[in-house]
């Protein structure tokens, strides 16, 4: 299976595994799965870190290095990923989540997320 990790799932995977659901942890640790993290996640972390809304014990570059070690792929934002946002319902106003949703739609990825709004979109979501 191919999974796209939501931002909070990435952070929990790295530093607070107890917050992951059993299903999420199982999907993340199953080496037969391919995991992706969106460039939007790094953008979100940078914005929140620079505005003091988030404290991280490591740099974004360190996180990226860790993902490479874990064979987790970075999903770049392409123009084609932006187009679905134009017609997405507004269950969610967070621009970072909206691009993650659009990427999941275009790339046919299952999103691992606890976010209660994600299941309202035409994507597959894994949590519990």
pLDDT in tens, 74-87: 999 999 999 999 99
The boundaries of the domain holding residue 91 are 2-126
Asked whether the predicted pLDDT for residue 28 surpasses 80, the reply is yes
CATH number at residue 21: 3.40.50.1010
Q: How confident is the model at residue 1 (pLDDT cuts 50, 70, 90)?
A: very high
Q: Give the span between the Cα atoms of 73 and 81, in whole angstroms.
A: 17
| Helix ranges (DSSP H) in 2-55 | 7-15, 22-29, 39-50
Q: How confident is the model at residue 90 (pLDDT cuts 50, 70, 90)?
A: confident
Asked whether the predicted pLDDT for residue 102 surpasses 90, the reply is yes
Q: How many domains does the chain divide into?
A: 1
Asked whether the predicted pLDDT for residue 115 surpasses 90, the reply is yes
């Amino acid at each position: 299976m191919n999974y796209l990790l939501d931002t909070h799932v990435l952070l929990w995977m790295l530093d607070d595994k107890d917050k992951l659901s059993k299903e999420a942890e199982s999907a993340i640790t199953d080496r037969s799965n391919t995991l992706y993290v969106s460039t939007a996640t790094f953008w979100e972390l940078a914005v929140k870190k620079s505005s003091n809304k988030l404290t991280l014990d490591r740099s974004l570059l360190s996180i990226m290095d860790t993902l490479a070690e874990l064979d987790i792929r970075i999903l770049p934002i392409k123009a084609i990923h932006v187009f679905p946002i134009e017609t997405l319902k507004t269950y969610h106003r967070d621009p970072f989540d909206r691009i993650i949703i659009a990427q999941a739609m275009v790339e046919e990825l299952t999103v691992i997320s606890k976010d209660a709004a994600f299941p309202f979109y035409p994507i597959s979501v894994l949590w519990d």
